[in-house]
Each structure stands twice: as structure tokens, then as C-alpha cells.
Structure 1
Amino acid sequence: MASELTNTARLITGIVGSVTGLTSDELLMETRGVTSVARARQVAMYLAHTCCSLSLAQVGEIFGRDKSTVAHAVHQIEDLRDELEFDDWLSDLEGALRAVTGLSPLTGRVLRGMWQSSAIQPARGQGSGYVRA
């Protein structure tokens, strides 16, 4: 699980860092930093919790924060979503993260790997039909 959290941290900080111009190190640093870094970190924590379905404690472990700090970050970002421009920007980030991770935008379920399931494989010789499990 630790390596999964490390990979998730790299992915999220990479995506958030690429759109904010910050490095992963800046997003993961122990000090609060300037306001723009703190806000970007809150966005990254929000995405980890909402898109990757990580618990507040797991997100806190990734970012070196207490789960109450993560909860505060999630609430801050949820409040900012009332602003249309910010909400659109964050929706684009969520879409990018879900595309990279293979998570369904509707359910949060992992879509990659499900393709190997016999329940959704196209039936052989039946065009667009699907095998039912």
C-alpha cells in the first residue's frame, strides 16, 4: 500500500504541478509556503481524496499533514467550486487525473483492468455484442 500511495502522490503532484508551475517537492514540502503553494497543495489533497478515493488519513500520509488539515483543505476547495471559473478548471484537472488513472468519472471505479473481465469483453464473432457473465 505504501508504494501505491507513493505512486498516487507522484501522479497527483505531477498533474497539479504541471498546471500551476510548481514542483512536486514544493507541493510536498513540510512548511506551509506562500499562499499559491498552499492553495495548490489543497487542490492536490482534494483530488487525492475525491478522485482517488483515498481516506483523509491516507492523503495526510502522502502530504505529511494531519487528517484534520486534509479535511480543511477539502472543504476550502469545495467552497471555491462555487466560482464558475475555478470549478471549470478543477473539473478539467479531475478529468485529466481520471483519464490517467483509468477511473470512471461517474463511479470512481477503476476502468483499466476491467477490460480483461469476461463480463465486458466483446463476444467473439458477434460484432458489437458483449459477453454476459
Structure 2
Amino acid sequence: MHLTAAVSRNYQEETEPPRVSLTSSSGRREERIIELCEGMMDITAALFNVSSKELRSPGRGGLGVSRVRHIAMYVTHVALSVTMRDVGAGFGRDRTTVMYACHLVEDLRDDADFDRMVALTERVALAAFGNKASF
């Protein structure tokens, strides 16, 4: 799967991204983090034309799926300012897995096409979650 083509095909600027409310009825921090990560997985899956079920699977999945998951973790940590520990909990992964994903995505951002995909994902995440992501 070529990620650039998937993003181009699935994202239209005139379409408003889905919004996810981070205000749960109980207001508990852990629930809000999980809700944020779930929403981020759904958004990223839609952007890259990957099954959200595959992103949530406990296994690694193929390279395309794991790369999309890495981007979702990276954007959740960097753009939405969620700690690596919390991102790991929300994605059902370990903190060190999130750290690996963030380092990998940072390194891959040297490629202009990949950087554009990540920047687009960051813009969509910020539009969807805005400053509701503060915990």
C-alpha cells in the first residue's frame, strides 16, 4: 500500500474531520485518554485507508498497518501533547513501543512525502481535538 496515494484519495479539504468529545460523563482522566486514542486511531485509519480493527489488533500487522499505527502514536504524543505512557495505555501498547514509534517517525520525516502525510495527520488531529486534549 502506498500511503501517499491513500491519503490523497481519502482526504478532501472541504470535508470537515470527525470530532470526538473528550468530556466523558464521569470525567475521569483515563477514560478521556482512551477516548482520545480511540478517536485518533479512527481518524488515522480513515486517512490512510486502513482498517481500524487492524490498528487495534494486539499483533504488529503488516508494514503498512504498523507504520500507520506509528504515525497515530506519534501525532497523539507530539501534536496532542499526551505522554508516552498514556499513549501506550490508550493504544494497548507499552511506553517503549510508543518511544520507538516516535523516533522512527521523526527519522522518516526527512522524506518530504512522508513529512507531508504526517503534517496532514497532525492538522486533522488538531482540528478534531483542538485543545480538548489537555488532561
Q: With the length of structure 2 as denominator, give the TM-score of the two structures.
A: 0.72
Distance 1:56 1:45 in 2: 8
Q: Is the 8 A contact 2:41 2:72 kept in 1?
A: yes
CA RMSD, Structure 1 to Structure 2 (Å) = 1.6
1:31 matches 2:59 = yes
Aligned to 1:49: 77
Q: Which amino acid aligns with 2:112?
A: L
Q: Which amino acid aligns with 1:15?
A: I
Aligned to 2:35: 7
1:68 matches 2:93 = no
After the TM superposition, which residues 37-116 of structure 1 pair with which residues of structure 2 at under 5 Å, given as runs? 37-102=65-130, 110=131
3-state SS in 2 of match to 1:36: helix
The size of the alignment, in residue pairs, is 105
Q: Is the 8 A contact 1:80 1:87 kept in 2?
A: yes
| Fraction of identical pairs, as percent | 33
Shift of 1:10: 2.2
Distance 1:79 1:8 in 2: 25
If asked which structure has higher relative contact order (CA below 8 Å, sep 6+), I would say 2
Q: Is the 8 A contact 1:13 1:23 kept in 2?
A: no
Runs of 5+ consecutive residues of structure 1 not aligned to the other structure? 103-109, 112-133
